[in-house]
């Protein structure tokens, strides 16, 4: 089958032209339509030119197999008209009719409270973050410098997920590792409510920072765990059990139980070890139950004792 390609910019330009044509046809019509954000899903091939420039081409497959470098993109496009003074207006009516006669083009529409909230969330930083994910985790070989650049742009624009991804890169893959910058980005993402960043901030402070800052790590794990982050529940329980205070074992058990009930295999294993070896009185039947569940989910590690 013939496989047709067109540049992504050309495809969007054609869509813009069709929307403008539809708008012009609406002038003077009895039924009027608002132009709201348009979702466009396309199959696009990614190619790198000899000069290093990345290009996207929209594919018209016509039944042909997709090439290996094909990705599915969903673009959310918000039409923004310009007034005579060149001020962009996102809300517009197609062929609206008022008391002074028919009008055509952008018409201010009073926003609802939901629209006001949504308008504060720009899709730009999210797109930058996803581009960083593509280059840093799916591209072969990974292009970490470019991924870092896009994550930095998205993070500086206020995207908490990008902040967390950037911090992950700086703390684990970047050479040399930049733990100070990773700490700063984890903190910003965590303070913005990103539970993944809260958990990662706890890991950084509790396992990589020198000297470890266990009180602060515990604080962030508690925040993430209370927000429902399963891995944070497991990490918090590990920390509490490792402190050597018998009064904390009840808290450790409670968090391991929550994580285990959510399907975390290592939490199942640690909970079983706790109940069989350190709990007073020992609870072997319950320990046996959790070991069985851990075995079925292939537990790979235990904080207290080796887990087969």
In 3D space, the residue among 90, 109, 86 whose CA is nearest the CA of residue 98 turns out to be: 109
Number of domains in the chain: 2
CA distance 58 to 241: 54
Distances (CA, A) of 235 to 49, 120, 156, 213: 45, 35, 29, 14
> Which of 65, 95, 125 is the endpoint of a domain?
95
CA separation (Å) from 210 to 207, 243, 246, 307? 8, 18, 27, 29
Phi/psi zone of residue 3: left (φ > 0), alpha (ψ -120 to 50 degrees), beta?
A: beta
Q: Under a CB-based contact definition with an 8 Å cutoff, are residues 217 and 205 in contact?
A: yes
Please give the Cα distance from 73 to 105 (Å, whole number). Answer: 29
Domain range spanning residue 13?
4-95
Q: How far apart are CA 172 and CA 134, in angstroms?
A: 17
pLDDT of residue 305: 44
For residue 75, how many other CB atoms are within 10 A of its CB? 17
User: What does the angle CA 121 – CA 188 – CA 117 come to, to the nearest 5 degrees?
Assistant: 20
Domain boundary among 51, 67, 95: 95
Q: Tell me if 206 is assigned to some domain.
A: no
Question: What are the structure tokens assigned to 165, written together?
Answer: 């991804």
Determine the pLDDT at residue 18. 72
The answer to whether residue 267 sits within a structural domain is yes
Residues of the chain with pLDDT under 50: 1-3, 82-122, 302-308
Tell which of 75, 95, 115 closes a domain: 95
- Per-residue DSSP letter, 112: P
> Domain for residue 116, yes or no?
no
pLDDT of residue 296: 82
Asked, for residue 12, whether it belongs to a domain, the answer is yes
| pLDDT score at 298 | 66
72 within a domain of the structure (yes/no) = yes
Asked whether residue 263 is assigned to any structural domain, the reply reads yes
Element (H, E) at 206: none
* pLDDT of 289: 93
Phi/psi at 75 (5° precision): -105, 130
pLDDT in tens, 173-232: 999 999 999 999 999 999 999 999 999 999 999 999 999 999 999 999 999 999 999 999
Edge-to-edge strands, sheet with 54-60: 4-7, 54-60, 38-48, 70-77
**CA separation for the pair 147, 142 (Å, rounded):** 8
Task: Give CA–CA dist 227/222, Å, rounded.
Answer: 8
Indicate whether 180 belongs to any domain.
no
105 lies in some domain: no
pTM attached to this predicted model: 0.58
């Amino acid at each position: 089958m013939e496989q047709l390609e067109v540049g992504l910019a050309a495809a969007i330009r054609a869509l813009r032209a069709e929307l403008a044509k539809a708008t012009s046809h609406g002038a003077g019509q009895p039924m009027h339509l608002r132009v709201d954000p348009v979702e466009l899903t396309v199959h696009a091939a990614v190619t790198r030119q000899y000069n290093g420039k990345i290009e996207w081409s929209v594919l018209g497959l016509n039944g042909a197999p997709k090439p290996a470098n094909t990705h599915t993109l969903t673009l959310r496009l918000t039409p923004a008209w310009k007034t005579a003074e060149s001020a962009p207006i996102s809300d517009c009516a197609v062929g609206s009719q008022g008391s002074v006669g028919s009008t055509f083009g952008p018409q201010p529409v009073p926003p609802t409270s939901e629209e006001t909230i949504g308008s504060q969330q720009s899709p730009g930083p999210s797109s930058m973050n996803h581009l960083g994910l593509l280059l840093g985790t799916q591209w072969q070989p990974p292009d970490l410098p470019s991924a870092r650049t896009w994550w930095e742009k998205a993070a500086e624009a206020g995207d908490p997920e990008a902040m967390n991804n950037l911090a992950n890169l700086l703390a684990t893959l970047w050479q040399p590792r930049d733990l100070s910058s990773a700490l700063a980005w984890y903190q910003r993402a965590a303070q913005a409510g990103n539970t993944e960043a809260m958990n990662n901030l706890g890991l950084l402070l509790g396992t990589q920072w020198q000297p470890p800052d266990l009180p602060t790590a515990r604080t962030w794990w508690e925040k993430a765990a209370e927000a429902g982050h399963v891995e944070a529940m497991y990490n918090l329980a590990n920390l509490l059990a490792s402190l050597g205070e018998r009064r904390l074992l009840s808290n450790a058990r409670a968090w391991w139980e929550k994580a285990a009930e959510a399907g975390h295999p290592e939490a199942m294993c640690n909970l079983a070890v706790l109940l069989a070896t350190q709990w007073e009185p020992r609870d072997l039947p319950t320990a046996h139950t959790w070991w069985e569940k851990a075995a079925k989910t292939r537990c790979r590690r235990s904080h207290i004792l080796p887990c087969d």
